[in-house]
Structure 1
Amino acid sequence: MTIYVDCIINMKNFTAFLECLEALTVCIGLGENVQMPRKGISHEAITVTRQSCWKPLHRSNNDLNVLNASPLFDSLLTDTAPQVSYEVGDVDFDRGYYLADEIYPSWASFVKEFSSVVDARRKYFTKKQSTARKDVEKTFGILQDRWGILRQPARAYSVNAIKRIMYGCIILHNMIVEDNDFNIAKNKSYYMPVNNLQGSTWYERCDVYAEKSKELRDKDEHEYLRHTLVSHLWHNRDNEIDNEL
């Protein structure tokens, strides 16, 4: 699949618009201007010039290509994601985050390790972040060892079926862990917001999508969260050493 010069869509089909907008996100990431449809504009297309954006999508499935095609942040972009509130030091945050390595973009929902370590604080943070990230990666290996269906090829399944299979395996795994009294964290429920976009107009949904997309890609928020985590971990390192002893 390739991003063509014109991405023609039916303005009444919001799903088609989202698919087109997701493809054009590559252009937005490169700093190109993408014209958005608005009231009073007669044309029914989102266009980019051949010179400004010509980026094939039929490449190897590395981390960035998978991220660009992933529905991971769909619920966040449509304002239907669970509200996750937590406190780091004395600072409150209301968006969850994913641990990632330096190849990922500097988005507000990613906490990346430092590519260059210049002081003890960053070195300590990078060590803790890398350790926690590897623990998460090992979790998928545990799930694959326990549930044979996760070791099978997934191309024959629909995206919705894969999602339900993963949810089912995770829920069953957590039930087994809890039943054996091996759980190390208290169960925490998250508030699922009401979908306020139901009954809204096409333009209102577009505005919410654009606003959430901007918040997701906020580099300043990414740096602020990482700086807060660095300070918090460094401040509590002595307590952690005492607990290990």
Structure 2
Amino acid sequence: MGYYLADGIYPKWSTIVQTIHEPVGPKKKYFAAQQEACRKDVERAFGVLQSRFAIVKGPDERDLDAPIGIGREATPPEVQIPDNEDNRFQEFLSRFRKIKDKEAHFSLRNALIDHLWEKFNGWNFDNIIELNPAKTTWKIKVEIIRLWRLYSAGNIESIEMVLVDSNGYTIHATVNEDVVPIFESFLEEGDSKIFINFKPE
């Protein structure tokens, strides 16, 4: 069963994935940023379709007041009308209940949160050693390969590595706007740069 990206005005059904308002923690902040970014991409795509193809934008323009021809066509012999209408209706009700399952809605959202965070392969917040009072510098144990994965995934726009001494480096990294919500509590307002001091193991 597929799912749709939606905002908060829709019900919490198993086929609808909504953003998290006022997310707490890096995983939920990252999920909310990704959900909203993807939803906006879809909205923009449909905006282009609506501007180019009127049939997508407007309702069907058939004349609903035109008389409807009444007739009865013979049913071809190879078409069989099912006798188990009751069973089909029960199957329909079962599927409908699955769609409206609120527990499945939250299970799907939690699974997506974990999946996106694992795919993001994000910063290990448990390894933060020191955070200075200005909230712009982290001293963090981080592997260069992890930083490179973030850059390759497009989560970091640019990296400048400066050798401090024989024991460590300072990295100036400009993060992608979609990732800023994760670091927002550590960034100055309107800033998108993080400064990371780390020492190799």
**Higher normalized helix content (fraction of residues):** 1
Q: Which has the higher contact order (CA 8 A, sep 6+)?
A: 1
Question: Could you tell me the TM-score, scaled by structure 1's length?
Answer: 0.42
Larger Rg computed on CA atoms: 2
Query: TM-score with structure 2 length normalisation?
Result: 0.50
